[in-house]
Amino acid sequence: MAALYSPSSCFCGSLGSYPVHKSVKLGHGKVRDSRFYFPHRFQCATPKLHVQAKALSVDGLPEIMDSSLVVCFGEMLIDFVPTISGLSLAEAPAFKKAPGGAPANVAVGIARLGGSSAFIGKVGEDEFGYMLADILKENNVNNEGMRFDPGARTALAFVTLRSDGEREFMFYRNPSADMLLQENELDFDLITKATIFHYGSISLITEPCKSAHIAAAKVAKDAGVVLSYDPNLRLPLWPSAESARKGILSIWDTADIIKVSEEEISFLTQGEDPYDDAVVRKLFHPNLKLLLVTEGADGCRYYTQEFSGKVKGLKVEAVDTTGAGDAFVAGTLSQLASDLSLIQDEDRLRNALKFSNVCGALTVTERGAIPALPTREAVVNALLKTVA
């Protein structure tokens, strides 16, 4: 699988400060009543996952259950991706507008794979914010927990694609609406209906979003929801490397499932070898159920309390690695939400991770994050080709 993502050389920019106003749940024009923004099935409570087995679908993977809701919390933004790879931002002749933001990518990825997902976060009460809300709706993602801020813009990120498909970033979010989500704007009812609550670390950088993040995770944990964490390191967004390390690790021990890249292991362990199992095990806290380490084209490693191993990736020609790590997470969570007992069965877990690896691989073959996320049918077909 082509590189899932890496904290490549990054650059930061700003659009200046915007006044903070009370956000609204409803906008105008294209933004409609939030009751019409999510499928009917989300109006009833979702039971927590305590089963030990589920039926398998015809492709040998866990059957996706409508009741297995994954709620994704954090940022949603607009990525501007150059139409030609290998050029700097200044040299790029044009940019393709693409919806993005890691938690939102995961939510759409799960829905596209046939699972149930919801997104909680904040965008500006502007044309880009309306567009993102519509995109979630069009992709069958519950956006009941989405908020619109009239005083701050939707975040933007210009993404430089190097000739190898890897990325460099320039962000416009100072502050952007996602940074201004407040605890009193959270949809706690939606959170407690989830089977899995997924989040990153960008929402921990500034207040008031940091407090909202911590409150949401606590409510989910207290309700017996499984917590999933992908730090998604973006150094330019943090005040310093040390504050990033401290912030990412501040919520480490509460997560049940953690996904990191090899670069993030080096960063968190201050330069230790990410391919040394002893180093990785230092990050395995006592209550952790599953630790996943992505290795780009080489696949992934997995660590549980009982066993560990590696699953090879699928080699593809990388066009744009944006969102590939999120596709991997979506592939994993879509299966675990239906059957958490996969974590106790190494053979079944390995099969699930083969599926996840292919999700990431297919995503790098197209530009943009959300536009490139694969369907379940595409992933299954790619898997069948590997064994043909």
Q: Is the pLDDT of residue 209 over 80?
A: yes
Q: If phi over 0 gives left and psi between -120 and 50 gives alpha, with beta otherwise, what is residue 325?
A: alpha
Residue 369 pLDDT: 83
State the average pLDDT over residues 300-305.
Answer: 97
Pick the residue with more confidence: 67 or 308? Answer: 308
Pick the residue with more confidence: 87 or 358? Answer: 358
Predicted structure pTM score? 0.83
| Sequence-distant contacts of 40-48: CB under 8 A, at least 24 apart | 41/66, 41/116, 42/69, 42/116, 42/118, 42/142, 42/144, 42/190, 42/193, 45/193, 46/116, 46/193, 46/194, 46/195, 48/195, 48/223, 48/224, 48/225
What is the DSSP secondary-structure string of 224-279?
A: TPEEEE-----GGGSS-HHHHHHHHHHTGGG-SEEEEEHHHHHHHTTS--TT-HHH
* Window from 23-27, 228-232, 309-313 with minimum mean pLDDT: 23-27
pLDDT single digits (tens) 250-264: 999 999 999 999 999
- Residue 60's pLDDT band (boundaries 50, 70, 90)? low
**Percent of residues, the chain, with pLDDT higher than 90:** 69
Q: Is the pLDDT of residue 311 over 90?
A: yes
Neighbours of 94 (CB within 10 A): 9
**Percent of residues, the chain, with pLDDT higher than 70:** 81
pLDDT single digits (tens) 115-126: 999 999 999 999
Q: Residue 268: which of 235, 298, 228 has the closest Cα?
A: 235
Pick the residue with more confidence: 79 or 249? Answer: 249
Residue 386 pLDDT: 82
Fold classification of 69-76+101-128+140-151+179-387 (topology level): UDP-N-acetylmuramoyl-L-alanine:D-glutamate ligase (3.40.1190)
Pick the residue with more confidence: 35 or 245? Answer: 245
Residue 208 pLDDT: 98
Residue 137 pLDDT: 95
- Residue 388's pLDDT band (boundaries 50, 70, 90)? low
| Domain residue ranges in the chain | 69-76+101-128+140-151+179-387
pLDDT single digits (tens) 272-294: 999 999 999 999 999 999 999 99
Alpha helices in 113-196 (DSSP H): 127-138, 188-192
* Window from 80-84, 228-232, 236-240, 338-342 with minimum mean pLDDT: 80-84
Cβ-Cβ contacts under 8 Å for 278 (sequence gap 6 or more)? none
State the average pLDDT over residues 332-348.
Answer: 96
Q: Is the pLDDT of residue 78 over 50?
A: yes
Q: Is the pLDDT of residue 33 over 60?
A: no
Pick the residue with more confidence: 97 or 112? Answer: 112
DSSP bridge pairs for 156: 78, 172
How many angstroms from the chain centroid is the CA of residue 315?
Answer: 22
- Residue 67's pLDDT band (boundaries 50, 70, 90)? low
Computed over every residue of the chain, the mean pLDDT equals 84
- Residue 165's pLDDT band (boundaries 50, 70, 90)? low
State the average pLDDT over residues 144-149.
Answer: 97
Q: Is the pLDDT of residue 49 over 80?
A: no
Q: Is the pLDDT of residue 10 over 90?
A: no
Q: Is the pLDDT of residue 86 over 90?
A: no
